[in-house]
Amino acid sequence: MTQKIHDIHPHVISKDDAVFPRSPIGGEQSDWSREHQVTVEDMITAMDEAGIASSALVQSATCYGYNNSYVAHAIKLHPDRFTGVGTIDVLAPDAVDTLKGWIDRGIAGIRLYTGGSKLEFDFSWLNDARTFPVWEYAGANGISICVQARPPAFSIIVEMARRFPQTRIILDHLARMDTTDGPPYANAQPLFDLAANPNIYLKVTPRSFDLANSGQASPETFFPKLVAQFGARRIAFGSNYPASSGTLKQIVDRARDNLKSLSQDDQNWILGGTAEFLYPKLA
């Protein structure tokens, strides 16, 4: 497989608050989305510098809430470079119709925002029966569901993976699993155990690289272990740019450095191949 880099977790923020008004989930905008506004054109420039072919823009729920208009705007402007991952209220009775509307505007996946930034984490609603129509529709129509998860949510994630086996579930930031104990990474065993569910995928981001370089962990011991458990075809790269520090090129360079102990084929899948499976429009 020839290496082609795709990014499944960048964010864009408009500088036009009138056309794209802020309406963050929880009512308080995140600091990063206020202080690091990367517009659509800024993102194209950054992608070109970093060598990224295309990206799945992730809705900034801490800036725009459930209004995915700016992501949809980006896709309309550059359909050859972008697809999108939107956020909707999956508990709403019209959630499926809402999802269909965003799909018509180029959204190819959704993200379940459970907390972070200014909002306390709450996983209790993930398996609420009111969400089931969205999970079912996603599975039937190839819509990947990304979840902002943490280890306390793993039992619910497994429940939903088994209830909806056709639905692809992507865990953000490796669920920020503790890896500080180092090999054989006993602390991360709950994450490795999720590999038994073939429809659960992982997203590695700068936060994952932080974890792999903390305590007794190292990229050379952690990422081969992760790939041995999940396989590279179930792991994809996301930059979290600009919420993570550094330029997009610096983040891509860091990803290459952290994954260099893997085979070239595994690197290619993580940096691009898996993304094309999760979001076929990227291909």
Residue 255: pLDDT band by 50, 70, 90 thresholds? very high
Residue 117: pLDDT band by 50, 70, 90 thresholds? low
Q: What is the pLDDT of residue 116?
A: 64
Q: What is the pLDDT of residue 118?
A: 62
Mean pLDDT of 103-108: 97
Q: What is the largest CA-CA distance in the chain?
A: 52
- Flag whether pLDDT at 259 surpasses 70: yes
Nearest alpha-carbon partner for 198 in 223, 153, 234: 234
- Flag whether pLDDT at 240 surpasses 60: yes
- Flag whether pLDDT at 113 surpasses 90: no
Q: What is the pLDDT of residue 2?
A: 62
Cis peptide before 198 (omega within 30 of 0): no
Mean pLDDT of 228-252: 97
Proportion of the chain above pLDDT 90, given as a percent? 89
Please report, as a single letter, which amino acid is at residue 261: S
- Top-confidence residue, 117 or 26: 26
Q: What is the pLDDT of residues 34-56, one digit of tens each?
A: 889 999 999 999 999 999 999 99
- Flag whether pLDDT at 9 surpasses 80: yes
Mean pLDDT of 110-134: 86
Q: What is the pLDDT of residue 26?
A: 82
Proportion of the chain above pLDDT 70, given as a percent? 98
Domain architecture of the chain: domains with CATH: 5-282 (3.20.20.140)
Quick one: tokens of 156? Answer: 């619910």
Q: What is the pLDDT of residue 25?
A: 87
Q: What is the pLDDT of residues 130-187, one digit of tens each?
A: 999 999 999 999 999 999 889 999 999 999 999 999 999 999 999 999 999 999 999 9
Average pLDDT value over all residues in the chain: 95
Residue 71: pLDDT band by 50, 70, 90 thresholds? very high
Residues 275, 258: Cα–Cα separation, whole Å: 18
- From the number of C-beta atoms within 10 Å of its C-beta (0-12, 13-18, 19+), residue 118 rates as middle
Residues 62, 46: Cα–Cα separation, whole Å: 22
- Flag whether pLDDT at 1 surpasses 90: no
- Flag whether pLDDT at 121 surpasses 90: no
Residue 114: pLDDT band by 50, 70, 90 thresholds? confident
Residues 48, 53: Cα–Cα separation, whole Å: 8
- Residue 66 per-residue DSSP state: T
Residues 28, 211: Cα–Cα separation, whole Å: 28
- Top-confidence residue, 33 or 68: 68
The residues pairing with 60 across neighbouring beta strands, listed in sequence order, are none
Q: Enumerate long-range contacts of 46-51, CB under 8 Å, 24 or more apart.
A: 46/241, 46/247, 46/248, 46/249, 47/7, 47/81, 47/248, 49/247, 49/248, 49/249, 50/5, 50/247, 50/248, 50/249, 50/251, 50/252, 51/5, 51/249, 51/252
- Flag whether pLDDT at 16 surpasses 80: yes
Q: What is the pLDDT of residue 32?
A: 87
Mean pLDDT of 206-213: 96
Residue 3: pLDDT band by 50, 70, 90 thresholds? confident
Dihedral sign for Cα 85, 35, 113, 93, please.
negative
